[in-house]
Amino acid sequence: MPLFTGRKVALLGTGLFLPEKLLTNDDLSKMVETSDAWIRERTGIKVRHIADDGQLTSELAACAAQNALASAGIGADAVDMILVGTNSPDTIFPGVGPKVQAVLGASRAGACDVQAGCTGSVYALAMAVSGISSGLWRHVLVIGAEVLSPLLDWEDRNTCVLFGDGASAFLLGPAPEDKRGFIAADVRAEGEFHDLISFPAGLVERPASSETVAAREHYVKMKGNDVFKFVNRKLPPFLKSFLVESNLKPADVTNWIFHQANLRIIEGVLRRLDVDPAKAYVNLDHLGNTSAASVFIALHEAMEQGVLKGGDLVVMTSFGAGMTYGAIAFEL
Ligand code: COA
């Protein structure tokens, strides 16, 4: 059973940070052979935020974290752990987590990154809840942060039109008496599909060389249509059984926070679950796919806009490189 037991855990605050620069579909159509109509019809994306040259994932993550702490009214010295879901760390080591810890001055906190494709933030959230629920930690900052733009091949229309940069952070802690908080989580991996989304070169398997640079292997590669089919095949039965094992019915769920990769995926999966697609909060039109940051940004925005409020039941679900996927259910 995927249920959390032990101490109840609640979301105490959320924070957002987006780089200012915007890149529209029309801008992209001047860079690669694409069009606003193609991108909107096939994905739902209209515009995305892109970091400035030199603006790092750790900077976005730290700003989002500061906003989450302020929204929770909790000081950095009360944070026990910082977990960062990211696929675009400033460097492979040190990780983003320790840099954020230093910026915040979170003197008692451990810090590390969770790299699990776009599902990384859902993995990190499940770990954070488990750590608080068990009594190991009291307050945990969980961050989804990406600056994927320098890792994209701006000559490859199959990938460069899809992604955007951004960060969002959650502060978790013990739940007040009257709150149910986090209910259940299930995270999965199917590594046999590891070649669907990859970053081929620059590490152990393909160390950087003039050949890897010439072959443009230091960029995100994706078999987009295969990913599309994988997700549409795997997610509906997975989410159905997740609800059953979490003792939840589809009607109990106020809102679905999906990974913001493609509007057709969100609507298609919900239709297969017999759920009204209007029950999904969608922001990919103005953000694109912000990878591990996407579900956190979506929840933050939905709360800020009053789409979600205290007492609402949310299922957050994501999928990504690995292939990984997962879901987590909680009451706000
Ligand atoms: N502009 C115009 N044409 C494009 C294009 C673009 N940006 N990108 C691809 N195409 C073309 C292809 O070359 C292909 O042309 P062809 O028929 O002449 O070969 C055609 O459009 C269809 O390509 P295909 O890949 O089959 O399109 P699709 O309907 O599967 O849509 C994605 C492509 C990437 C939008 C879609 O597959 C998708 O969203 N997949 C999931 C990706 C995802 O979720 N990734 C994140 C995981 S974290």
CATH number at residue 135: 3.40.47.10
Q: Are 218 and 202 in contact (CB under 8 A)?
A: yes
Is position 194 annotated as part of the catalytic site? no
Sequence-separated (6 or more) residues with CB below 8 Å from residue 44: 262, 263, 264, 282, 284, 285
Mean pLDDT throughout 213-228? 98
Is residue 13 domain-shared with residue 155, that is, in the same domain? yes
Is residue 28 domain-shared with residue 152, that is, in the same domain? yes
Is residue 129 domain-shared with residue 37, that is, in the same domain? yes
| 2 located within any domain | no
Is residue 72 domain-shared with residue 116, that is, in the same domain? yes
Residue at which a domain ends, from 174, 198, 224:
174
**Per-residue pLDDT tens over the stretch 51-91:** 999 999 999 999 999 999 999 999 999 999 999 999 999 99
Is residue 219 domain-shared with residue 99, that is, in the same domain? no
- DSSP letter string, 172-183: EEEPPTT---EE
Give CA–CA dist 162/178, Å, rounded: 41
Is residue 152 domain-shared with residue 280, that is, in the same domain? no
pLDDT band at 48 (very low <50, low <70, confident <90, very high): very high
Residue at which a domain ends, from 121, 147, 174:
174
| 4 located within any domain | no
Give CA–CA dist 330/22, Å, rounded: 32
Residue at which a domain ends, from 140, 174, 208:
174
Q: What is the pLDDT of residue 206?
A: 97
Q: Based on the structure, what is the number of domains in the chain? A: 2
The one-letter code for the residue type at 159 is: T
How many CA atoms within 13 Å lie on the side-chain side of 12? 25
Is position 160 annotated as part of the catalytic site? no
Q: What is the pLDDT of residue 91?
A: 98
Is residue 144 domain-shared with residue 216, that is, in the same domain? no
Tokens (6 digits) for 138: 């009291």
| Average pLDDT, rounded, for the chain | 97
Is residue 139 domain-shared with residue 224, that is, in the same domain? no
Q: Tell me which of 225, 264, 267 to substitute to probe ligand 1's pocket, judged by most ligand atoms within 8 Å of the beta carbon.
A: 225
Q: Are 259 and 125 in contact (CB under 8 A)?
A: no
Is residue 205 domain-shared with residue 148, that is, in the same domain? no
| 140 located within any domain | yes
DSSP 3-state assignment of 100?
helix
Segments forming the whole domain that contains residue 305: 182-331
DSSP 3-state assignment of 9?
strand
| 1 located within any domain | no
| Percent of the chain topping pLDDT 70 | 100
pLDDT band at 277 (very low <50, low <70, confident <90, very high): very high
Is residue 245 domain-shared with residue 199, that is, in the same domain? yes
| 66 located within any domain | yes
The alpha carbon of 40 and the centre of ligand 1 are apart by a number of angstroms equal to 12
| 202 located within any domain | yes
Is residue 166 domain-shared with residue 56, that is, in the same domain? yes
| 273 located within any domain | yes
Residues in the chain: 332
Is position 259 annotated as part of the catalytic site? yes
Q: ∠ CA(9), CA(11), CA(17), 5° rounding? A: 145
Q: Tell me which of 153, 190, 228 to substitute to probe ligand 1's pocket, judged by most ligand atoms within 8 Å of the beta carbon.
A: 228
Q: What is the pLDDT of residue 326?
A: 98
pLDDT over threshold 80, residue 3: yes
pLDDT band at 29 (very low <50, low <70, confident <90, very high): very high
| 154 located within any domain | yes
pLDDT over threshold 80, residue 1: no
Is residue 13 domain-shared with residue 153, that is, in the same domain? yes
